[in-house]
């Protein structure tokens, strides 16, 4: 893993690019059994800055978790829909019926 990070770092330098290490995070992906069997916490660093380990991240609007399940993404979509429905319900007397349908 460290070798890959060193390769990434040299590639960035060769292409005159920088990586925002403050925003950079990593996620270990696998089955529940495999992730639970990992002993200790994996510590990765780039440019002498430790990278933050996360259990889920958002990529192009889709929430990806460490087990590659849809659970967290579906929960986020349900929350957003509930807020939208609540706003429509509160404003249904003010809005025209055709506006509510669109």
Q: Which residue is listed with tokens 């800055």?
A: 49
Mean pLDDT (the chain) is 89
Report how far residue 53's alpha carbon sits from residue 27's, in angstroms, rounded to the nearest whole number: 6
Question: Which residue, among 54, 56, 44, 46, has the nearest Cα to 17 in the 3D structure?
Answer: 46
Pick the more confident residue, 36 or 82: 82
Domain boundaries, the chain: 1-54
- Model confidence pLDDT, tens digit, residues 17-67: 998 988 999 999 999 888 888 867 788 888 888 899 999 999 999 999 999
Given a contact cutoff of 8 angstroms between Cβ atoms, the answer to whether 64 and 56 are in contact is: yes
């Amino acid at each position: 893993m460290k070798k890959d990070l060193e390769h990434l770092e040299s590639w960035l330098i060769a292409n005159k690019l920088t990586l925002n290490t403050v925003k950079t995070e990593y996620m270990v992906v696998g089955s529940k059994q495999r992730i639970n069997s990992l002993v200790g916490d994996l510590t990765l660093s780039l440019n002498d800055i430790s990278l933050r380990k996360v259990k889920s991240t958002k990529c192009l609007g889709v929430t990806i978790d460490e087990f590659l399940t849809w659970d967290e993404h579906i929960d986020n979509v349900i929350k957003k829909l509930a807020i939208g429905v609540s706003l429509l319900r509160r404003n249904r007397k003010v809005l025209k019926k055709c506006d509510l349908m669109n």
